[in-house]
Amino acid sequence: MNTNRRFLLKGLFAAATLPLTLAAPHALAESPEIRIGWQKGSTLSIVKARGDLEAKLKAEGVKVTWTEFPAGPQMLEGLNVGSIDLGVVGETPPVFAQAAGADLVYVGNEPPAPRAEKVLVPKESPIRTLAELKGKRIVLNKGSNVHYLLVKALESAKLKYSDVEVVFLPPADARAAFEKGAVDAWVIWDPFGAAAEAQLGARIVADGTGIANNYNFYIAARPFVHKHPQVLASALASINETGLWVGKNQKEAAAIVAPQIGLPPAIAEVSVSRYGYGVKPLTDDVVKHQQQMADTLSELKLIPKKLDVASVVWRPTR
């Protein structure tokens, strides 16, 4: 067993800040299934395609089922209503979901990936800077990672969120509006952003570099974490192994992702190269980042109340 896996398994079995109780030895027999939400182009899409996680958990008597979602907010809606146990989403969806009362737990994060989200404008657009977005119509997926990117991008240009008109559409519909010229800019993540760059000639006005960290978080349903930590630990350890493989084999990973997202391998490789890989327990700095985000969204009245992010973080002992 390698060092990464030993550390992850050791940490995931010990909860430091949540009132989580280790499941009894017969927990696997009681619920031999983990339901995982995934998005095309994500680390979990590669995990699903490679089949290693299913093989590992099958050997432990656990069934794996997969449900596809178009974006993080929809995935956490699924988690909230009990249709999935685990998923990976960008940094903003968990804040919106917690504010809406979802019984969720942060159980890990991937390294930040600021280049994987961006503000795009059409090829012929006269807009060259973030400041020129004032008064413009901007489309994004509500509650997704790019929602916060827009807030911080405008702030960096000394603009307010109210200085622009925000339109909420899921990625496919947003691209259609962008192509038709119905909006002036599109705030989006990869692989959708990489595809628009390559296929439409869309220009990047700004990405998350120096503006937003763009973490991906592994989010689990609290009842599942409470009852089946062994299953969760095994799943995250397997996901971590695949993530580390992706980091070292991006061309091969892109070949897996390309048919899923209907893009040439070259575009898929650009998308893969912009993300971080491997699952780590949340550090104090990451929790602080999420709290600052929650505070910002609360101040802007984008969420209805203030949050305590640390209260929903599973922090393993080190």
Distance between CA atoms of residues 230 and 75, nearest Å: 23
Q: Is residue 65 part of a domain?
A: yes
Give backbone dihedrals phi and psi of 244, rounded to 5 degrees, phi first: -65, -35
180 shares a domain with 93: no
Structure tokens at 22: 């280790």
Residue 160 lies in a domain: yes
Contacts of 293 (CB under 8 A, 6+ apart): 91, 92, 95, 148
Tokens standing for 202?
């869309």
pLDDT tens string, the chain, 318 residues long: the values are 444 444 343 444 333 333 333 333 443 345 479 999 999 888 999 999 999 999 999 999 999 999 999 889 999 999 999 999 999 999 999 999 999 999 999 999 999 999 999 999 999 999 999 999 999 999 999 988 999 999 999 999 999 999 999 999 999 999 999 999 999 999 999 999 999 999 999 999 999 999 999 999 999 999 999 999 999 999 999 999 999 999 999 999 999 999 988 889 999 999 999 999 999 999 999 999 999 999 999 999 999 999 999 999 987 554
- Same domain membership, residue 125 and residue 103: no
Domain that holds residue 284: 3-112+215-312
Domain of residue 156, CATH code: 3.40.190.10
Residues 90 and 223 in one domain: yes
Q: Are residues 106 and 223 in the same domain?
A: yes
Same domain, residue pair 97 and 121: no
Q: Is residue 317 part of a domain?
A: no
Q: Which of 147, 182, 207 is the last residue of a domain?
A: 207
The answer to whether residues 56 and 133 belong to one domain is no
Quote the distance between the C-alpha of residue 65 and its chain's center.
19
Rounded to whole angstroms, how far apart are CA atoms 98 and 87?
A: 15
Residue position matching structure tokens 């962008």 = 178
Residue 182 lies in a domain: yes
Does residue 137 share a domain with residue 84? no
Query: Which of 207, 240, 263 is the last residue before a domain boundary?
Result: 207
pTM of the model: 0.83
Check whether residue 108 and residue 118 sit in a common domain: no
Is residue 31 domain-shared with residue 96, that is, in the same domain?
yes
What is the Cα–Cα distance from 42 to 87, expressed in whole angstroms? 11
pLDDT at residue 316 in the model: 58
**Residue 206: closest CA among 161, 157, 275:** 157
Q: Which residues contact 172 (CB under 8 A, 6 or more apart)?
A: 70
Count of domains forming the chain: 2
Structural domain includes residue 249: yes
For tokens 């010229």, name the residue. 181
Does any domain span residue 318? no
